[in-house]
Amino acid sequence: MTQIYETQAVVIGGGATGVGVLRDLALRGIKAILVEQRDLGHGTTHRNHGLLHSGARYAVKDLEAAIECIQENYILKKTLPGSVEATGGLFAKVPEDPDDYVKLWLEGCKKAGIPTEEVPIAQALKEEPYLSKDVQAVYRVPDGGLDGFTLVVDVVADAVAHGAKALTYHEVVGFIIDQARVKGVKVRDYYTGEIKEIYADIVINAAGPWGGKIGEMAGVPINIINNRGMLVIFSHRFNKQVINRLHKSSDGDIFVPAHNVTLFGTTGVNTDDPNDTSLDRQELEGMLTHGYPVIPSIYEMRYIRAFSGSRPLYQESADTSDKSGRNVSRGMALLDHSTRDGLDGFVTITGGKLTTFRLMAEETVNLVCDKLGISAKCTTHEQVVPHREAKEFFRDVDMAPAAKHKIGTWAGTRAPKIASDLKKGIGNQVICECEQVTWAEVDSVLPESARFHIGDIRRRTRLGMGPCQGTFCNHRVAAIAVENGKATPKEANWALNNAVEERKKGIGVVATGETAKQLELMEAVYRVSLGLREEELQYV
């Protein structure tokens, strides 16, 4: 018998925009269910440089997007304390950059309301010693870091606390339409293959790069350009602040500090496939060429992996002549398919930036309220996403200082359970030395009725995100999961293979020097010592 759900709103897509819409709906008292084809943040949200934009990057070419970014920058710093690091940012001009761009940039920042401060070069080099000694001008802006991993988890947790529901690993396979009106969606459980039906008054397409395909299912055209960008992760955090190259946005011109590492990117290549996360060594070399004038020691540093993801760029026409996607606006697009396509009960929100996800959600839910005749106002610009301070839970916990700091600053709603277990002496063994992840942390993110998935654990705890990329901790977490009845041996083997292959893909494209040795060691551990067979990847 088909399982049926009934609600007021369905949100398709569990990235930042989708979870933002879900929370906004819940806070306004609207019953909502979110469906996501894989884990939360599976797409663009977990595949970007995590920059909390000041808007300065768009001050010359996209003033509207710049204004949205600076306004949301201030709001997110207040309302997302567990996911924001207010690092500040520098824009550095090097001799290769055109002199006249600086004036245009300063004028654009002023128009957008972005504060800028010229920093004496000697001071800039003192603050950021890896900066090129050839820099000609440096300006400070209020950039920051935004952790997409914690963002989606904490925002969804708050939405669920207010009555919402989230179904991960459920893919939309069809729409329920009656007389030019969307009545709901059909979804397929990724693990069981079961088809479920969700009936709702309105369906919101927040599927990011997959938004065009969702539109096709509903019978409406949505011209979304999937612009794939490649990024690289350095093995250590060498900059305290975000470092941008002061020129027209291009490949490889931004360095974003995040936790213990620095992210570097990005490229821009249009692709027809939203699942395209391919990596190319030539793209990497091109990025390094652009990054070298700003950070000359870039070739001497160790890269631990690369990754890629697609930006969903919307334009009304189907013109894809701009193969880099650099000239397409980063502004949001909210489409009411009732007035646009004659299909009631269906809206799409796409485009935008990670920084503007809350604003995109607000505008979307405003439209939903108008269509449903609801007068509730948005409060997400002032209502803080719940977060726990370290001092509340770790006063008497005996654990490594690094782990105590990490859990306290970004464990969010999971902190009480982790602290309680650790105080009882449960799960205090460190599984991942690189990121100081304990079993108590892992156990706190294992759902009761879902498959054991190391990637899902990694995104919530940072297990395997350090220099060894899971070489030593993936098999540990799998073994302990089996010992504690959290996974069967077959599930653990599949999860291990899945995790190893995913890490290998990211390591392989940057595998030179120490990183090449790390890749060989990973192969030796899993294929030789443990005898893990690649064909087990077929199991789901």
CATH architecture of 83-144+226-309: 2-Layer Sandwich (3.30)
- pTM value surpassing 0.95: no
pLDDT score of 539: 43
Residue 424's SS3 state is: coil
User: Per-residue pLDDT tens for 385-406?
Assistant: 985 433 333 333 333 444 444 5
Percentage helix, strand, coil for the chain under 3-state DSSP, each rounded to 5 = 40, 20, 40
Convert the pLDDT of each residue in 101-151 to its tens digit: 999 999 999 999 999 999 999 999 999 999 999 999 999 999 999 999 989
Q: Do 6 and 201 form a contact (C-beta atoms < 8 A)?
A: no
- In degrees, rounded to 5, the angle at the alpha carbon of residue 462 between the alpha carbons of residues 459 and 468 is 120
In angstroms, the CA 288 to CA 531 distance is 37
Q: What is the mean pLDDT of the chain?
A: 90
C-beta separation of 386 from 154 below 8 A: yes
Q: What is the pLDDT of residues 321-334, one digit of tens each?
A: 544 444 455 579 99
One-letter amino acid identity for 450? A
- Between CA 424 and CA 438 the distance in angstroms is 14
**CA distance linking residue 135 with residue 120, whole number of Å:** 11
148-161 and 16-27 are packed helices; what angle lies between their axes, rounded to 10 degrees?
20
Q: Indicate the SS3 state at residue 347.
A: strand
E strands, 355-495, are: 430-432, 437-438
pLDDT at residue 446 in the model: 84
Closest CA to 434 of 398, 457, 414, 406: 406
Q: Could you give the percent of the chain with pLDDT greater than 70?
A: 89
Single out the residue of 22, 41, 9, 4 nearest to residue 361, CA to CA.
22
Q: How far apart are CA 162 and CA 387, in angstroms?
A: 15
Q: How confident is the model at residue 207 (pLDDT cuts 50, 70, 90)?
A: very high
Please give the structure tokens belonging to residue 223: 């011209």
CB 343 within 8 A of CB 374: no
CA distance 297 to 284: 15
Q: In the chain, what is the greatest distance between 2 CA atoms, to the nearest angstrom?
A: 71
50: left (phi over 0), alpha (psi -120 to 50) or beta: left
3-state secondary structure 136-165: CEEEEECCEEECHHHHHHHHHHHHHHCCCE
User: Domain residue spans in the chain?
Assistant: 83-144+226-309, 390-538
Burial 482-506 (b: 16+ CB within 10 A, else e): beeebbeeebbbbbbbbbbebbbbb
pLDDT of residue 329: 53
**Sign (positive/negative) of CA torsion 354, 355, 356, 362?**
positive
Average pLDDT over every residue of 490-510:
93
Vertex 492 angle, CA 450 and 439, to 5°: 80
Cα separation, 105 vs 444, in Å, equals: 46
pLDDT the model gives residue 387: 58
Question: Is the pLDDT assigned to residue 55 strictly greater than 60?
Answer: yes
Report how far residue 291's alpha carbon sits from residue 526's, in angstroms, rounded to the nearest whole number: 35
Residue 311, classed as helix, strand or coil, is strand
**CB atoms inside a 10 Å sphere around CB 66:** 26
Question: Which range among 34-38, 102-106, 112-116, 488-492 shows the weakest confidence by mean pLDDT?
Answer: 488-492
Q: Cis bond leading into 262, ω under 30°?
A: no
- Residue 438's pLDDT is what? 86
- List CB contacts of 244: < 8 A, sequence separation 6 or more: 56, 57, 89, 90, 91, 92, 143, 253, 254, 255
Quick check: 520 pLDDT over 50?
yes
**DSSP character string of 425-462:** T-S-SEEETTTTEEHHHHHHT--TTS---HHHHHHHH-
Q: What is the mean pLDDT of residues 361-378?
A: 98
- With a CB cutoff of 8 Å and minimum separation 6, the contacts of 515 are 302, 303, 304, 507
The pLDDT confidence band at residue 188, using thresholds 50, 70 and 90, is: very high
Of the candidates 77, 87, 80, the one whose C-alpha atom is nearest the C-alpha of residue 16 is: 80
